[in-house]
Chains A and B, each alone.
Chain A
Amino acid sequence: MSDNLPSPIQRAVDAGDNVSEVTPARLFIGRSGTAYRTSTQLQLRADHAFAKDALEASLSLAEPPMKELVERFGLFEVATQADSHEEYLARPDKGRRLAVGVAETLRANCPSAVEVQFVVGDGLSPLAVRAQVPSLLGPLIDHASARGLSIGRPFFVRYCRVGVMNDIGEALDAQNVILLVGERPGLATAESLSAYMAHRPRSGDTDAQRNLVSNIHSSGVGTEDAVRRILGLVDSLQLQGRSGFTVKESAQPTALPGAGGR
Chain B
Amino acid sequence: MKRSVTLRGETFAFADLRELMARANEPKAGDRLAGIAADSERERVAAKMALAEVPLHAFLDESLIEDDVTALVVSSLDQEAFAPLRSLTVGELRELVLTSSFAAEWERGLKSALTPEMVAGVTRIMSARDLMTAAAPLRAVTKCRNTMGERGVLGVRVQPNHPTDDIAGVLLSALDGLLFGCGDALIGVNPAGDSIENVIALEYALHDLISAVGVPTQSCVLAHITTQLAALERGAPVDLLFQSIGGTEATNAGFGVTLQGLAEGREAVLASHAGRNEFIGDNVMYFETGQGTALSVDGHGGIDQLTCEARAYGVARTFDPFLVNSVVGFIGPEYLANEREIMRAGLEDHFMGKLLGLPMGIDICYTNHVEANQDTTDQLLVLLATAGCNFVMGVPGSDDVMLNYQSTSYHDAAGVRELVGARPAPEFEEWLERTGIYDGGKLSELAATGPDSLLAFTSSLKELGL
Contact = CB atoms under 8 A, between A and B. Distances in A.
Contact of B411 (A13, A34, A47, A212): A34
A63 B148 CA distance: 56
A15 B167 CA distance: 12
Given A23-B166, A30-B448, 9 more contacts: A9-B171, A12-B171, A15-B168, A30-B449, A36-B397, A45-B374, A48-B374, A185-B404, A249-B195
Nearest to A55: B369
Given A23-B401, A34-B415, A251-B195, A215 B163 contact: yes
Interface of A: 1-2, 4-6, 8-9, 11-13, 15-17, 19, 22-31, 33-36, 40, 44-45, 47-48, 51-52, 54-55, 89-93, 124, 183-189, 192, 206-208, 212-215, 217, 219-221, 229, 244-246, 248-251
Contacts of B397: 25-27, 29, 36, 40, 44
23 contacts: A9-B205, A9-B209, A12-B172, A13-B175, A19-B172, A23-B169, A23-B172, A24-B401, A26-B397, A27-B397, A28-B450, A35-B411, A36-B397, A36-B411, A44-B397, A91-B334, A92-B33, A92-B296, A124-B369, A185-B404, A206-B297, A207-B254, A245-B224
B74 to A, nearest CB: 26
Contacts of B458: 1-2, 5, 13
B205 A8 contact: yes
A178 B403 CA distance: 21
B159 to A, nearest CB: 10
A184 B454 contact: no
Nearest to A53: B368
A48 B376 CA distance: 13
A66 B59 CA distance: 56
Interface of B: 29, 33, 160-164, 166-173, 175-176, 192-198, 205, 208-209, 212, 224, 226-227, 230, 253-256, 296-298, 332-334, 367-369, 373-374, 396-406, 409, 411, 414-415, 418, 443, 448-451, 453-455, 458-459, 461-462, 466
Contacts of A30: 448-450
Nearest to A185: B368
A92 B333 CA distance: 10
Contact of B168 (A22, A35, A52, A217): A22
B401 A34 contact: no
Contacts of A245: 224, 226-227, 256
Contacts, number: 219
Name the residue in B162, B194, B404 with the highest tally of chain A Cβ atoms < 10 Å from its Cβ.
B404
Given A24-B401, A124-B369, A31 B164 contact: no
A17 B401 contact: no
- What 7 A-B pairs come out closest when comparing CB atoms? A26-B397, A186-B404, A23-B169, A220-B163, A251-B197, A34-B415, A12-B171
Interface of A is mostly: loop
Given A2-B459, A23-B401, A48-B368, A31 B449 contact: yes
A248 B455 CA distance: 39
Contacts of A9: 171, 205, 208-209, 212
A15 B174 CA distance: 13
Nearest to A33: B415
Nearest to B367: A184
A1 B456 CA distance: 9
A244 B197 contact: no
B368 A90 contact: no
Nearest to B416: A34
Nearest to B34: A93
A110 B324 CA distance: 47
Nearest to B29: A90
Contact of A221 (B33, B163, B167): B163
Contacts of A124: 369
Given A25-B397, A34-B443, A35-B415, A8 B164 contact: no
